[in-house]
Chains A and B, each alone.
Chain A
Amino acid sequence: MTQEKGHRSAPFAAALLAPVSILYLVFLIVPIGYFLAVSFLKYSPERLYLPELTTDNYRRLLSDGYYRQIIYDTFRISAIVTLFSLIFGYTLAYFLSRMKSAWRGILMFLIIAPLMTGVIVRTYGWIVLLGSDGLVNRLLIGLGLVSSPIGLLNTEPTVIVALVHIMLPYMVFPIFSSLVSQDPHLVPAASTLGARPLRTFFEVTLPLSRSGIVMGSALVFTLTAGSIVTPELLGGRNVTMLGQTIYQLILSTFNWPLGAAVAAILVVCQFSVISLYFRKMRRAY
């Protein structure tokens, strides 16, 4: 009887899934397939690419120290941003999930608020704050910590700080969601059984929030690895990431095959790192 009901509901489920499947197929799978195909074509200055198969684009990327360094820097910066976002994001999400007052709504709004302004506006905000005559330098000089303005712009730490600020909401909300969905009786139960707060956190709360951690980390890592504006405006010539390289190759140099190969490497690396992370997290708990 149940099996029969399952059979009957299968077409309904397929019908429900159809629109989103078509959407993904047309706007995700087809474009990815297209640029994967282009990455194996020969570059032509006049025609974008020629219909000649080649692996030269990948060879150029993987054999050239300049591009290898960009790939390494992109994933190193993404990992650092993910780690800091996780530390700050978890703390914030934990604090929010334990709040009972009306302040919770206000704080949630404050976390979302930055998402309501464009990333370019926020990045320009950082330029104002961190410039030679900016608030941070004035504060440092006022406190007597430095005698003249220090160069905060065009450095990797600045890019990391700005990216953590931009990415924080993407980490907070999945973790918050996993924390508030936990059974509220678990913590008192652990306490009744003699567990101290720290042990309860590490053995009950943290393992049960792993889905939020995984989701938040995956989001932050992938978004950071593909970021363009923040490293471009705040990193200057000292920080180059894959997103900027793709942008330049596609829109300025018009070398679509090489740009597509960089994009393919970015997607494959992101996918591999996230898969590995998912697997490790599953094993850890």
Chain B
Amino acid sequence: MDLVDKAGISRRSVMKAGLALAGGAAMAGLNTGDAMAASDLRIMMAGGSWKEWVAKVFAEPFAKANNVELVWKLGLTQEPIVMAQQRRPQWDLIHSSQTRAGQLGAMGLYLPWTDETIPNLSKIHPSFRYEFLAGKCHTPYGLCVNTAKIKKPITSWLDLWDPELKGRIAFPAWGWVGDEVFHAINIALGGSSDNIEPGITKFKELFSQNQCRIINNVEHTRQLVDAQEIWLCPFFGARTQQAAAAGAPVEFVIPKEGGLSWIWNTALIANRPKDSIALSQKYAGTCLEAERQIEFARLTGYPPTNIEAMKNLPPDLKKLELSDADVDLLGKLQRQSDYMTQFAYRDQYSERWNKEVVTAK
């Protein structure tokens, strides 16, 4: 204090200088924040083996090559965070399927993928290119059949209603992928995204008469499939093949009405700083490269989406090769879905599912 007085500096001027310094530091901090965002790639996705594979094949090599730091936020269903932070998003990318990406993209929460911003986009098969997401892989989805217990051929979703399989069938939880599988089967039954009556009526029978069980996630399904608790259920192709490789007597069937196929990648979250968006788009581009997709396919068992990679699968991955007819059959039901209608009515549809189907006696 004495020193201040001796130097002829008033307390007010010291306060002013202090405030100016603090303000400057705050501004610098803000600027640093922008600069930090450009040097960080902030990714939201579920954890587990899937995250490890994404990190190993795509994210870590990209971070190293571009000298950026990876920041992960792990957990299931992170879309509400994007919705809640829509004015000031804190994350650059969110791992998503084409359905959710389309729904949240239409709300202005995700950026569209274009050839100008992501040049590698043109290398992706048209079936796996959507407005707000292009797949780094796709996940064929159909029926997982226990061939030791079921001797008759399984060809249709309607085989789930076979009374001989009473108590030995399962359906995915609504919050996992059950809603989308339900909508696909509802379409196969003559319904549409704004008319779910055919599906509700038919699924009531499945739960009440055929004692359908609920499977909550991949691990839960694997547990019940491996233990031969359930003999027939909708499941992912690669996971069925993994179960078979581990010794379970199961095979994967694409139902004649059409299976499902989700494409997966990290959607670009809108309203981020320009530097961050440029970095995210660059990362998205690397996820579409042929060599990386082949490496990813080797780890996950899911087929690539890059046309060159699809045509030139190495011998050990030839089993993942899909004909154009297979690709067409997999996406057949989903292409008829109106995702925005499903999204707009998800509260009512979810409640009807819980009240009328799951609790049906």
Contacts and interface: CB of A to CB of B under 8 A. Distances in A.
A237 B214 contact: yes
Interface string A134-160: 100000000000000001011000000
Interface stretch (A124-132, A169-177, A208-216): A124-132
Interface stretch (B116-124, B242-250, B347-355): B347-355
Given A233-B216, A236-B213, A237-B359, A248 B223 contact: no
B274 to A, nearest CB: 25
A150 to B, nearest CB: 12
Contacts of A151: 167
A48 B214 CA distance: 27
B9 to A, nearest CB: 34
A43 B347 CA distance: 10
Nearest to A254: B80
Interface stretch (B128-136, B224-232, B254-262, B280-288): B224-232
B174 interface: yes
A124 B359 CA distance: 24
Given A46-B107, A132-B229, A254 B223 contact: no
A253 interface: yes
Given A232-B216, A252-B77, A66 B227 contact: no
Interface residues of B, number: 35
Interface string A47-78: 11000000000000000001000000000000
B346 A248 contact: no
Given A66-B354, A133-B227, A251 B216 contact: no
A121 to B, nearest CB: 10
A238 to B, nearest CB: 9
A255 interface: yes
Q: How large is the interface on A (under 10, 10 to 19, 20 to 34, 35 or more residues)?
A: 20 to 34
A256 B219 CA distance: 28
Nearest to A255: B347
Interface string B209-221: 0001110100110
A125 B358 CA distance: 25
A127 B216 contact: no
A253 B342 CA distance: 11
A111 interface: no
A233 B170 CA distance: 13
A248 B350 contact: yes
A250 interface: yes
Given A128-B227, A131-B229, A252-B175, A48 B83 contact: yes
Contacts of B216: 232-233
Interface string B319-360: 000000000000000000000000111110011001100110
A184 interface: no
B4 interface: no
B175 A127 contact: no
The 9 closest A-B pairs by CB, nearest first: A252-B175, A251-B77, A253-B350, A237-B358, A131-B227, A255-B347, A66-B355, A45-B344, A248-B175
13 contacts: A48-B83, A48-B84, A131-B229, A132-B229, A154-B213, A232-B173, A237-B214, A247-B175, A248-B350, A251-B175, A252-B179, A253-B350, A258-B347
Interface of B: 76-77, 79-80, 83-84, 107, 167, 173-175, 179, 207, 212-214, 216, 219-220, 223-224, 227-229, 343-347, 350-351, 354-355, 358-359
